[in-house]
Structure 1
Amino acid sequence: MYRERAAVGVAGAVVWESVAAGGAPARVLPDGCLDLLWSSRAGLLVAGPDRTAHLSASAPGERWVGLRLPPGVGPAVFGAPAHELRDQRVLLADLWGLAAAELADRIAGVAGVDPGRHHRAGPVRAEPVAALLETVAAARLRAAGGPDPLGVRVAGRLAAGATVAAAAAEVGLGARALHRRSQLLFGYGPKTLARILRMRRALDLARAGTPLAETAALAGYADQAHLTRDVKEFAGVPPSRLLPA
């Protein structure tokens, strides 16, 4: 079971919820985002920006609630540069210390779990957990003065299909300066972010029923083979493995 909705209080963020069925690990594709996660077994975690697909293994019945922060926003919420969290899943306590323990206690009170061991003490109430994650993230974002506007602008232009050179020119930075800022904000350089966002656009088109050859052209690939190579590099499998049967 998986569902998501737009977050409240953090522009562009998404709240998602899932219950693991067990079996094969779930393939989580890179998207340039950082996530604030809560697991009914593992507690509070931070998922850094991935360069390749992350295989997420969960116990049957494990409940997950996440707040997916759009590219460039996570560092302001977590108080850490994105590149330090790249390809990692870390305990929130490692970043927030006592504030993470306080949040865990608040979640235990609304979710029906043991605050020390995180196991289920009854039916998990996911929506109050999501609301707490939204509230805390929004408060930290306000305290930080909001996300870096450069990150929001660059990510928005790249998501719309602009070239890295065009995005750099629009924000008035040279290639090296943009690369340095991108490492801090996104966890990798602007070219990698642009390729990841292009892959996401292509998969959205293909999942909507657009043939792969047409998808490649619409998303800005040289041809279908180029699309397949990029998807395999970032997702670990060809596009056909990621589409409905």
Structure 2
Amino acid sequence: MYVERASRLPGAVAWTNTPSGDGVVRVLPDGCMDLLWHDGRLMVAGPDTRAHLPDGGTGPWAGVRFPPGTAPALLGVPAHELRDRRVELADLWPAARVRRLAGAVNAAADPAGGLEELALRRAGDADPPDPLLRQVVTALDAGRPVAAIADELGFGSRQLHRRSLSAFGYGPKTLARILRLHRALALARAGVPFAETAARAGYADQAHLARDVREFSGLPLGRLLAG
């Protein structure tokens, strides 16, 4: 069973998941990165460009999901280096330090709470994320054209693309498509007909929505919603 709640770290989400054995749950691209705990180990989930299918490991998982663009400042690693990857935290930070941190999370009454404490301490020590990144995400989620966003922020398109790779793991056009996908899925799950969902989310037509859903999730829209 999957359960999430707002984290004490602003904008983040703390979650736990205990697989039920009823089948694989697809983790869709969302522009976010996660700090993970599983089987006593600490890991990082990079930004995805396609659905991630967990390997079926048993036992509970816990995580802190960081809003788009914020994790690289905490981890000290550009997001594009972790794109479509799950890596051990010890591959990014000194192993002795990670062992101490894992011990603290393992000793916590709630692993998700232990991860939160880790993230909060790290956020207090790290430089804050670029404040313009929040503006980029908000504008993209509102359907604003990438070129217009670059102009409004005083960037060239290439500069915005480079900064997006470092912050989000991919360029702004890919992030815009991922955010649009989630707008569409929210509408479709609320019972909005697919053709209307496509129009309201910013797709050219229902066929355009169907192509994007299949590309990012690997499933047709109907099957994805049914699952």
Is the structural similarity TM-score above 0.5?
yes
Task: Map 1:85-164; keep pairs closer than 5 Å.
Answer: 85-97=82-94, 98-110=96-108, 125=109, 128-164=110-146
1:19 is the counterpart of 2:23: no
CA RMSD after TM alignment = 1.5
Q: C-alpha deviations, 1:28-69, integer Å up to 9, x for none?
A: 100111100001x26111000011111112234x10111000
With normalisation by structure 1, the TM-score equals 0.88
Q: What is the identity percentage for the equivalent residue pairs of Structure 1 and Structure 2? A: 57
Q: Which runs of 5+ in 1 are unaligned?
A: 111-124
Whole-Å Cα distance in 2 between the matches of residues 14 and 4 of structure 1? 7
Whole-Å Cα distance in 1 between the matches of residues 120 and 152 of structure 2? 28
1:33 is the counterpart of 2:32: yes
- Check the 8 A contact 1:24/1:57 in 2, yes or no: no
The code of the aligned residue for 2:98 comes to: A
- Check the 8 A contact 1:31/1:196 in 2, yes or no: yes
Partner in structure 2 of residue 117 of structure 1:
none
Whole-Å Cα distance in 2 between the matches of residues 170 and 17 of structure 1? 39
- Check the 8 A contact 2:32/2:46 in 1, yes or no: yes
With normalisation by structure 2, the TM-score equals 0.94
The code of the aligned residue for 2:10 comes to: A
Partner in structure 1 of residue 71 of structure 2:
74
The code of the aligned residue for 1:4 comes to: E
- Check the 8 A contact 2:40/2:106 in 1, yes or no: no
Provide the aligned length of Structure 1 versus Structure 2: 226
- Per-residue deviation at 1:244? 3.7
Q: C-alpha deviations, 1:183-204, integer Å up to 9, x for none?
A: 0000000000000110011001
Moved more, 235-244 or 211-220: 235-244
Task: Map 1:224-235; keep pairs closer than 5 Å.
Answer: 224-235=206-217
Q: Which runs of 5+ in 2 are unaligned?
A: none
